Amino acid sequence: MREAPTNRCLVQIATVAWLICGAGPLFAYAPGTVLESPIVFVQLPVDAAWGELPSVSGGMLRAEYGKGGRIVRLDPGGQFRVLTEGFTSACELDVSFDAQRILFAAKREPPDRWDIWEMAADGSGVRRITNNIGNCRSPAYQATLYTIISAEPWYQVMFISDASSSMNEYGSGLERGLYSCRLDGSSLRRLTMNLSDDMDPFLMDDGRVLLAGWQRMDLRRGFRGRVSLFGVNTDGADYALFCGDEGKRIKHMPCVTTGRLVVFVEADRVGWDGAGQLGSVTLRRNFHSYRPVTDDPARVYHSPSPLRDGSLLVSSRPTDVTGTHGIFRLDPVSGDKQLIFDDPDFHDMHCRVLAPRPQPDGRSSVVNEKYPTGKLYCLNAYLTDPEIMPHVRPGAIRSLRVIEGVPLAGDPRSAGPLLSGAGNIDGSTSRANGAAPVVQKRLLGIVPVEEDGSFHIELPADVPVQLQTLDANGMALRTCGWIWVKHREPRGCIGCHEDPELTPENRFVQAVQRPGIKLTLPASKRRTVDFRRDVMPIIARKCTPCHARQSTGLDLNDKDGGTFNRAYTTLLTGVDEDDDVEGPVVGKYVHPGQARTSQVIWQIFGENTAQPWDEVYQPGQLAGQCPPPEAEQLTPEEKQVLIEWIDLGAHWDGIPGKNKAAAGSPVHAHDQEEK
């Protein structure tokens, strides 16, 4: 049941008026005492949302709500009008810098895809910007963009789209990336290459884009991963983490106040609308200034938007199902809020003030699609997390492994979370008895790291990659999230998981004194390392006979075990199957994505290979070794196959029919010369 409207007008202001919107229901509004400018917002009918749209992807993403939505305008004097007559659904909006125009996502007819449209602030002059390039949502204006050879700068808009038609890493639906185009819809460009969802772009004053990104490139943060805040240039270059892991698991819907406070919605699991509490960081110290803005068990918050005085417009509803979203004005410093508007028959969301604002800085771009590659360099990979850096002594990092993430192809109509052991849509990997799915990965190459910790590589543009620093045994010490280089982009980093607020040392590192090492093999020659094709033959030769004779209880036979064989399900036994667990997904014998802490690796090396920062670190020899000294030992090449298999995610099978790896055939820098 919904509360009566009068019970929701908890407003500490002088006047509350009840107005009638045509023949519609009564709503609460405080005329002239809260806002000096008009506001525009989305009204979503209760019947189209409440209780009908579940969250998706294990509660990491909100539902694709918006059915029957409309965009309305409310003036300070109380005049109320619908701006999107003629659209069956309209949802999410942005206001131009001069407040003369409004961007919004909408459908003319129910079967249509979501497109981006623009209209004047009074609802006139409606025109379509995108047309049939997937479902396009969350539009925002960009400032000027230009290149060194441009006759003059131009304006663009950005939006989120599922135009790639690839599945997200969780396998629950199409992944969505950030796109941009000119105001007339031309020059369409995909900006972000994250293999799950990017969402909620917000243009900061310095011209960079702040957005939320869901990544689960491995299982170090549980089956569901995290949704974090990232920054990226308006041309898609330099996608990088914006703030740390403090606070809740999901951070999205960010905005920046005029007081230089970044405010966002955060939650550990979201419902259909993605609502949660509000958290914040400062622009000055965005990695070391987290604090919660709200901690209200009775209410959740949605789609904050800045006002000129440093306060926010924000939607809020009761945590339970007793009411709808209303629009509030909230002070992010004190937490005080005042109700502005609430229609009990609608969720009032995505509110923006219709007032001029300073135009953010323009941005120049070196991105040029004529160039198929970009470059990436690191100044010193030994600069890492403060708690880890003392343990990574000079010489500990021997090389760098570069891994390509392969998008999941599939039909979203038949998609569901890939946690049932039925295999991925493309058959590439799955979860069996705890073996969690992650996207398939291919090796782009392994390159040396210089004595000073630097490296310099050339990569295919617009390809999502992970970087792994390796020790003397070829085991990953540190692994980054999905990053990429744009066409012709020269991208640099200070270290590997270093404090992002560091200033780089003023020195000319060894790796950049010569051209970048090319890791540009064609896709057909990039290999995977997978259990069925590459690991099982080693186990069959070196492990199965001994375990069968000694009755160790480890069934390492190549017998049918359902979707997988017995050996695979045995090694992946014990992985915590609780989808809500946020910590690393580990098993008794294999830790997918982390060979150094996996018991099967300890056994074949005869020692605990974990590092001092790992919870399972116990220096010294193990009691046993596998195979035993009297048996045929694994070759160094075979050990590397097992290490790479686990570090790449412990996949059952690779991309069907492609990229079979032979034992002892790592892709090193010299392999890239092959034509």
Among 367, 392, 374, smallest CA distance to 495 is for 392
Is the separation of the CB atoms in 530 and 652 below 8 Å?
A: yes
Question: For position 553, what pLDDT does the model report?
Answer: 66
Q: Which of 6-20, 32-46, 297-311, 360-374 has the lowest mean pLDDT?
A: 6-20
pLDDT at 25 over 80: no
d(CA 462, CA 485): 6
pLDDT at 453 over 50: yes
Instruction: Name the band, by pLDDT with cuts 50, 70 and 90, for residue 52.
Output: low
Q: Across residues 242-251, what is the average pLDDT?
A: 93
Q: Which residues of 508-543 are buried (b: 16+ CB within 10 A; e: fewer)?
A: ebebbeeebbbbbbeeeebbbbbbbbbbbebbeebb
Question: For position 420, what pLDDT does the model report?
Answer: 27
Residue 184 lies in a domain: yes
Q: State whether 482 and 442 are in the same domain.
A: yes
pLDDT at 533 over 60: yes
Give the number of other Cβ atoms within 10 Å of residue 393's Cβ.
9
Question: For position 551, what pLDDT does the model report?
Answer: 65
Q: State whether 331 and 390 are in the same domain.
A: no
Q: Across residues 155-179, what is the average pLDDT?
A: 93
pLDDT at 613 over 50: yes
Strand order in the sheet with 70-74: 80-82, 70-74, 39-45, 346-353
Q: Comparing 186 with 619, which gets the higher pLDDT?
A: 186
Question: For position 421, what pLDDT does the model report?
Answer: 30
Six-digit token string for 294: 């709200």
Q: What is the pLDDT of residues 344-389, one digit of tens each?
A: 999 999 999 999 999 999 999 999 999 999 999 999 999 998 889 9
Q: State whether 34 and 178 are in the same domain.
A: yes
**Cα 375–Cα 198–Cα 194 angle in degrees, nearest 5:** 35
Q: What is the pLDDT of residues 573-595, one digit of tens each?
A: 765 545 566 667 777 899 989 99
Residue 418 lies in a domain: yes
Question: For position 436, what pLDDT does the model report?
Answer: 44
Q: State whether 296 and 415 are in the same domain.
A: no
Q: Look-up: residue for tokens 């820098």?
A: 669
Q: Tell me, yes or no, if the pTM score tops 0.85.
A: yes
Q: What CATH number has the domain bearing residue 68? A: 2.120.10.30
Instruction: Name the band, by pLDDT with cuts 50, 70 and 90, for residue 6.
Output: very low
Question: For position 544, what pLDDT does the model report?
Answer: 84
Q: Tell me whether residue 504 is exposed, middle or buried, using C-beta atoms within 10 angstroms of its C-beta: 0 to 12, 13 to 18, 19 or more.
A: middle
Q: Across residues 238-252, what is the average pLDDT?
A: 94
- The alpha carbons of the chain give a radius of gyration, in whole angstroms, of 27
Q: Tell me whether residue 12 is exposed, middle or buried, using C-beta atoms within 10 angstroms of its C-beta: 0 to 12, 13 to 18, 19 or more.
A: exposed
- Non-local CB neighbours of 634 within 8 Å, separated by 6+ positions: 538, 542, 604, 627, 642
- Non-local CB neighbours of 319 within 8 Å, separated by 6+ positions: 297, 298, 299, 300
d(CA 487, CA 235): 10
Question: For position 21, what pLDDT does the model report?
Answer: 36
Q: State whether 384 and 330 are in the same domain.
A: no
Question: For position 446, what pLDDT does the model report?
Answer: 97
Residue 365 lies in a domain: no
Residue 368 lies in a domain: no
- Whether a cis peptide bond, with omega within 30° of 0, leads into 537 is no
Is the separation of the CB atoms in 234 and 145 below 8 Å?
A: yes
- Non-local CB neighbours of 268 within 8 Å, separated by 6+ positions: 248, 249, 250, 582
Instruction: Name the band, by pLDDT with cuts 50, 70 and 90, for residue 175.
Output: very high
Q: Give the DSSP letter of residue 497.
A: S
d(CA 167, CA 406): 11
Give the number of other Cβ atoms within 10 Å of residue 623's Cβ.
5
Q: Which of 314, 335, 358 corresponds to the end of one domain?
A: 358
Helix (H, G, I), strand (E, B) or coil at 357: coil
Among 482, 431, 422, smallest CA distance to 650 is for 431
**Cα 612–Cα 616–Cα 622 angle in degrees, nearest 5:** 100
d(CA 66, CA 44): 7
Q: Which of 329, 358, 387 corresponds to the end of one domain?
A: 358
Give the structural domain span for 377.
373-673
Residue 149 lies in a domain: yes
Instruction: Name the band, by pLDDT with cuts 50, 70 and 90, for residue 54.
Output: confident
Residue 364 lies in a domain: no
pLDDT at 233 over 80: yes
Alpha-carbon separation of residue 202 from 23, 206, 223, 467, 601 (angstroms): 36, 11, 28, 28, 45
Q: Comparing 122 with 664, which gets the higher pLDDT?
A: 122
Reduce the secondary structure of 73-134 to three states and give it as a string: EECCCCCEEECCCCCCEEEEEEECCCCCEEEEEEECCCCCCCEEEEEECCCCCCEECCCCCC
Helix (H) or strand (E) holding 457: strand 455-460
Q: State whether 382 and 406 are in the same domain.
A: yes
Specify the number of domains making up the chain. 2
Q: Across residues 300-314, what is the average pLDDT?
A: 97
Q: State whether 338 and 419 are in the same domain.
A: no
State percent of the chain over pLDDT 70. Answer: 84
d(CA 337, CA 597): 49
Side-chain-side CA neighbours of 621 within 13 Å: the count stands at: 4
- Non-local CB neighbours of 398 within 8 Å, separated by 6+ positions: 448, 449, 470, 471, 472
Question: For position 615, what pLDDT does the model report?
Answer: 86
Q: Which of 358, 383, 413 corresponds to the end of one domain?
A: 358
Residue 366 lies in a domain: no
**Cα 515–Cα 517–Cα 522 angle in degrees, nearest 5:** 130
Residue 275 lies in a domain: yes
d(CA 544, CA 565): 13
pLDDT at 403 over 70: yes
Q: Across residues 530-535, what is the average pLDDT?
A: 92
Helix (H) or strand (E) holding 146: strand 136-146
Q: State whether 99 and 184 are in the same domain.
A: yes
Q: What mean pLDDT is reported for the chain?
A: 85
d(CA 230, CA 240): 5
Q: State whether 245 and 388 are in the same domain.
A: no
Question: For position 432, what pLDDT does the model report?
Answer: 36
Q: State whether 456 and 522 are in the same domain.
A: yes
Q: State whether 456 and 479 are in the same domain.
A: yes
What are residue 155's phi and psi, to 5 degrees? -100, 150
Q: State whether 340 and 423 are in the same domain.
A: no
Question: For position 418, what pLDDT does the model report?
Answer: 37
d(CA 171, CA 168): 5
Is the separation of the CB atoms in 10 and 50 below 8 Å?
A: no
Q: Which residues pair with 161 in a beta bridge?
A: 136, 177
d(CA 46, CA 345): 6
